[in-house]
Amino acid sequence: MPYLLVSTQIRLEAGPTMVGDEHSDPHLMSILGATKRSTLGNNFCEYYVNDAPRVVLDKLESLGYRVVSMTGVGQTLVWCLHRE
């Protein structure tokens, strides 16, 4: 799975950070220390870490991921990463 979306809400730029969906690589999620959560009202799960996005991006860079793009969507910051 070479692509990964990382996001956080602007008011939570110190964490937690969403690092994957329910179909993300469990081994990668384990390396990041992520836990799977389901938010009330959603019929899907997401992986979260308590780290700030900067810490998560540093960890992913050391694993070979590179930021492809970054944007703000409403009150959410989103990074798209890719690994060769």
For the stretch 14-36, pLDDT in tens is: 778 999 898 999 999 999 999 99
For the stretch 33-77, pLDDT in tens is: 999 988 888 888 999 999 999 999 999 999 999 999 999 988 899
Can you give the residue range of the structural domain that contains 48?
Answer: 3-82
Residue 81: partners with Cβ closer than 8 Å, 6 or more residues away: 3, 4, 5, 6, 57, 60, 65, 66, 67, 68
Reported pTM: 0.85
What is the structure's pLDDT at 1? Answer: 59
pLDDT category of residue 10 using cuts at 50, 70 and 90: confident
Distance CA 58, CA 60 (A): 5
Total tally of structural domains belonging to the chain: 1
> 64 in the Ramachandran plot: left (φ > 0), alpha (ψ -120 to 50) or beta?
left
Return the CATH number at 53.
3.30.1410.10
